[in-house]
A and B are shown apart, each in its own frame.
Chain A
Amino acid sequence: MKKNQFNITILSVVAVVLMASVPVRADLATASGTLAEVATLTVQAKANLASAANSGDVNAIADAAKRADAVDAAMAEAQDAFSALERAVAGNDQDAAAAASDDLDAARQKAFDALFGAVPEASPQSEHAKWVEGQKNTGGGPGRAYDPPNIYDRPWDTQGLRSFYQGLFGTIWESQGNRGGFNDRDATPE
């Protein structure tokens, strides 16, 4: 009698474990659908950016760029969450799978809010922030290698370079046997 009860208990546990393993497999298909949804939001964000660029409205371009950057960031988070889910499914780890599914849903919501909600703030790492920084190109800034030169920048006008060249000229002037500094002579000899 006791042996029968033990067998039934084992069978019950096996049945519960088998039933519990089914949602993990199903979640992977749903998760792929969620990832596709976030990628679709990315395409929409880029289309909005292109539309803003075509309109020529600088503010609209900046807003669309911020949204597109935020959606890109959410897409990266979604991909990480999906990878974590794949690992959890491979290891049959229910808790990790549930956590990864939650992360994936959170990333989807983040992408949705970035595209249709309030305009997100540009983070220092975002493409838009890098673009704004790249436009400065004041010399010594983090401008891109292919940035055009700043035509308003005249390095020879700096006080340090003026002093250097004046000092150099003064040395040559004195080496020619002239007395006094070149700048000491009268502007009008008479």
Chain B
Amino acid sequence: MNRQSCIAMMVAAGFVFGGGPNTARAAEGAEALVSSANESIAAASVAMDEARAAIENGKQLVAQIPADSAQLGEVKSMLLAASDNWNLSVAALKGAKESAAKITSASSTAIAKDYALLAKVNAGLALSGAKVVQTGLLFVDAVSNNKTEALDIIRMAMQDSLAAASQVQFNYERVKTLIAEKYSK
């Protein structure tokens, strides 16, 4: 193997593993990343608008629940969980928008991909939080309208939702840590 063939092999390897410079392809890739991130953010925004409407509706529903209702304690827990998840969603959506805005100005394709990933996972966190809020307020709706047969299913769905939402949060933290580790080396 002569020197030229070795260099050719390294250049080929660089292209195969994504290290080769290709400005046009990089620009197209960045556009696709921005589009994908914006799609996730739009889905999260819709879910948050629905959750906001559910919260407005819930304020009136809570007033209809009698003070001696057996489910009042549970309603309080649901509202606390919904409140926590709402705050999380608001922060996550803001983070998603910030990350998406940095994709086009990233200095390399790899960094742009990482910003896109952060935007997507943040949007997922906002979406899951908004869905948890909606589920919690469905419980309030069922209690205030005396739909006792629905309570069991909604209660179970809320428990599962909280567990899955914590999975989303855990994975978001892991993505952040892995990306930070990559650039701290």
Which residues in A have some Cβ–Cβ distance to B below 8 Å? 5, 8-9, 11-12, 15-16, 19-20, 22-23, 25-26, 28-30, 32-33, 35-37, 39-40, 42-44, 46-47, 49-51, 53-54, 56, 61, 68, 72, 75
Q: Does B34 contact A (CB under 8 A)?
A: no
The residue on A at minimum CB distance from B175 is: A32
Instruction: Specify which chain A residues have a CB less than 8 angstroms from the CB of B157 in the assembled complex.
Output: 46-47, 49-50, 53, 68
Enumerate the 5 nearest inter-chain pairs by beta-carbon distance, A residue then B residue, closest first. Answer: A36-B171, A53-B153, A39-B167, A42-B164, A29-B178
Q: A12-B9, A29-B178, A29-B179 are in contact. Are A35 and B167 (CB under 8 A)?
A: yes
Measured between alpha carbons, how far is A30 from B179 in the docked complex, in Å? 10
Instruction: Specify which chain A residues have a CB less than 8 angstroms from the CB of B10 in the assembled complex.
Output: 12, 15-16
Whether B13 pairs with A28 at a CB distance below 8 angstroms is no
Task: Of the listed stretches B21-29, B65-73, B100-108, B125-133, name the one at the interface; the rest are far from the partner chain.
Answer: B125-133
Interface size on B, residues (CB 8 A): 48
Most chain-B CB neighbours within 10 Å: which of A20, A46, A61? A46
Whether B127 pairs with A40 at a CB distance below 8 angstroms is yes
Total A-B contacts with CB atoms under 8 angstroms apart: 138
Instruction: Specify which chain B residues have a CB less than 8 angstroms from the CB of A44 in the assembled complex.
Output: 127-128, 131
Whether A29 pairs with B128 at a CB distance below 8 angstroms is no
CB distance from A22 to the nearest CB of B (A): 7
22 pairs, CB–CB < 8 Å, chain A vs chain B: A8-B1, A12-B9, A15-B13, A16-B10, A16-B13, A19-B17, A29-B175, A29-B179, A32-B121, A32-B175, A36-B171, A37-B121, A37-B124, A39-B167, A40-B125, A40-B168, A42-B160, A43-B127, A44-B128, A50-B138, A54-B147, A61-B153
